[in-house]
Amino acid sequence: MQAKLFQQLLTALALVLDLEEHRKLYHGWRVGLVAAHLGRALWPEGAAPLFYGGILHDLGAIGLEDHIIHYPELADQLSRPEILAHTERSAAILSLIPGLEGIAPDVRDHHQWWNGRGFPGGKKGAAISLGAQILRAADAFDLWLRQSHDVSPPQAINFVKSRRNLEFSPLITDALAAMVAREDVYEALLSEGRLDGLIREEMARSPLPLPATAGVLQPDQPADSEPPGPRPRFEDGFAGLPPNRRRDSEAEAPKPHFQIGQADLSIVRRRASPVQGPSASSSPAERTWLGERPSPQSDPGPSPSGDHRAFSSPQPLDPDGLLFSRMNVAVDRVIRVFAQVIDAKHSYTAGHSERVTLYGLLLAEELGLAPAQLNTLTVASLLHDAGKVAVPRKILDKPARLDEAERAIIQTHPAYTIEILSTIDDLRFLAAIAGGHHERYDGRGYPHALARQDIPFLARIMAIADAFDAMTSHRPYQKNRTVAEALAIIAKGAGTQFDPDLAEVAQGAYHGLEPDQYRWKPAWAS
């Protein structure tokens, strides 16, 4: 299950990279499919890494003003420093993903030309690795197809042959021409409606085993145990830390131990694991309570005594009870890389998804939510803005008020998030949670105008966490507010924008926070 999840996360990340306003470009998917085909002909053992390297070859281009397909000519590419830099960034990101480190050097060189005119460094001829040559051919072929319309196989073959000894080596030219001559392969690549099926077939044909050294995130304590005494608050050291890592001394002013961006998002997951799944005798309703409309028993609101543990649902959000409790480190890593890439679309959103995760978990810990809910909230929060990549930078960076058309575009991004996560079989159950973070308690939100308990409970938590980070971060349209100002706005929005009970809990959970501690960007984005 984990290997399949790992593969589908990578293909979903590739899809995110190719979102552009109201359309999917499928550039990475096509490059990956062509690269895998050429790999089986020229480098059989490299077909699988070429497929995954191909679908993700433009990871480093995520922050460009326009998608890189709009710069198909070498002269344009050489005149733009941000394009020249994207191959190094792509390789740096891939090197962070277990199992893809080996293909990273080939991705770094996927803009090298056989005649030495490419970049970086202008490598020439046999100095260019075979993997890089294959990726160059796959990339160039898709870019050429996009500039042409109703191209027949003979016309495509003529294009390929025109690149011999210029962009492609003779070996690559002949292999690509042979692929195009197979009309079944060529026609399938041109059909957007068939691409999803081709990608799934290729994943089955090109398995990418999880590295044996990646291991599994192991719990530090049983899921149903609590340390003796009162449950620690954030000020005592992040409550998600296992007891042996909490602050033992009060000699100095305590600081949060939650090091965002340094692999510590697994802390809460390790504490929470293992999740106890539903028994075989559970009812269908119990087995499918996946963050959609909670029943009265699962979402009662705070008890009269003020014990917020009443929010905790008796049903786990992880449908099998095992997905997040035995999270492979490789899967954990790619989820966090996914979040970092999403946030890299805009410089001011660096670290946003991980801050939203932190702020959501602080609320969840204050409420005493169940381990499965902590796990689900973590992954949903990290991926909640996947659809925002489809929003043009000129809209998100606009310093003035958005007009009606621009507002309509930006309001599509949660629906895109839902669609993207729905392509990942094992994460489909949390799509409604991740995509519900802009719903309003009064029913005036988007994308589905849900209200009150119709909004997934964890989405209501995320709505507050997301708004809190937006208010306390600098954005083009506003200066960052203080924590006190943000909490006042949350209190004012109780019952309209936000769940009133959660808005009240936020006042204590976020009091005393210093958001500037969590401003960061990954090294590859610098």
Query: For residue 166, what pLDDT is reported?
Result: 97
Q: Please write the tens of the pLDDT for every residue from 178-212.
A: 999 998 888 888 888 899 999 999 999 988 876 65
- C-alpha span between 457 and 422 (Å, rounded): 19
Query: For residue 460, what pLDDT is reported?
Result: 96
- pLDDT at residue 274 tops 80: no
- pLDDT at residue 290 tops 60: no
- pLDDT at residue 45 tops 80: yes
Q: Which two tokens stand for residue 190?
A: 């041109």
The confidence band for 507, taking pLDDT boundaries of 50, 70 and 90, is very high
The confidence band for 398, taking pLDDT boundaries of 50, 70 and 90, is confident
Handedness of CA 47, 49, 52, 55 (dihedral sign): negative
Question: How confident is the model over 463-469, as a mean pLDDT?
Answer: 94
Q: Which two tokens stand for residue 122?
A: 């202008």
Q: What is the DSSP string of 142-155?
A: HHHHHH-SS--HHH
Query: For residue 312, what pLDDT is reported?
Result: 31
- pLDDT at residue 244 tops 70: no
Query: For residue 154, what pLDDT is reported?
Result: 93
C-beta separation of 445 from 438 below 8 A: yes
The confidence band for 326, taking pLDDT boundaries of 50, 70 and 90, is low
Q: Please write the tens of the pLDDT for every residue from 361-392.
A: 999 988 988 877 888 899 999 999 988 888 87
The confidence band for 349, taking pLDDT boundaries of 50, 70 and 90, is low
Within 10 Å of residue 357's Cβ, how many Cβ atoms? 27
Most confident of 372-376, 397-401, 433-437: 433-437
The confidence band for 158, taking pLDDT boundaries of 50, 70 and 90, is very high
Question: Reduced to 3 states, what is the DSSP secondary structure of residue 386?
Answer: helix
C-beta separation of 387 from 415 below 8 A: yes
Q: Please write the tens of the pLDDT for every residue from 84-142.
A: 999 999 999 999 888 899 999 999 999 999 999 999 999 999 999 999 999 999 999 99
- pLDDT at residue 230 tops 70: no
- pLDDT at residue 442 tops 50: yes
Question: How confident is the model over 244-261, as a mean pLDDT?
Answer: 31
Ranges 40-54, 173-187, 306-320, 461-475: which has the least confidence: 306-320
Handedness of CA 457, 459, 465, 467 (dihedral sign): negative
Query: For residue 217, what pLDDT is reported?
Result: 39
The mean of the pLDDT values for the chain is 77
pLDDT more than 70, % of the chain: 74
Query: For residue 150, what pLDDT is reported?
Result: 79
- Better-predicted residue by pLDDT, 515 or 476: 515
Q: Which two tokens stand for residue 155?
A: 């016309």
Ranges 96-105, 253-262, 470-479: which has the least confidence: 253-262
The confidence band for 46, taking pLDDT boundaries of 50, 70 and 90, is very high
The confidence band for 521, taking pLDDT boundaries of 50, 70 and 90, is low
The confidence band for 324, taking pLDDT boundaries of 50, 70 and 90, is low
Buried b (16+ CB within 10 A) or exposed e, 70-109: ebeeeeebeeeeebeebbebbbbbbbbbbbbeebbebbbb
Alpha carbon dihedral 440, 445, 451, 456, in 10-degree steps, equals -70
- pLDDT at residue 401 tops 50: yes
Query: For residue 341, what pLDDT is reported?
Result: 86
- C-alpha span between 104 and 25 (Å, rounded): 23
The confidence band for 344, taking pLDDT boundaries of 50, 70 and 90, is confident
Q: Please write the tens of the pLDDT for every residue from 120-135.
A: 999 999 999 999 999 9
- Better-predicted residue by pLDDT, 184 or 321: 184
- C-alpha span between 7 and 3 (Å, rounded): 6
- C-alpha span between 288 and 311 (Å, rounded): 18
H-type helices in 370-510, by residue range?
371-382, 393-396, 404-410, 413-421, 431-434, 457-472, 483-492, 500-509
The confidence band for 277, taking pLDDT boundaries of 50, 70 and 90, is very low
User: Model-level pTM?
Assistant: 0.77
Query: For residue 327, what pLDDT is reported?
Result: 59
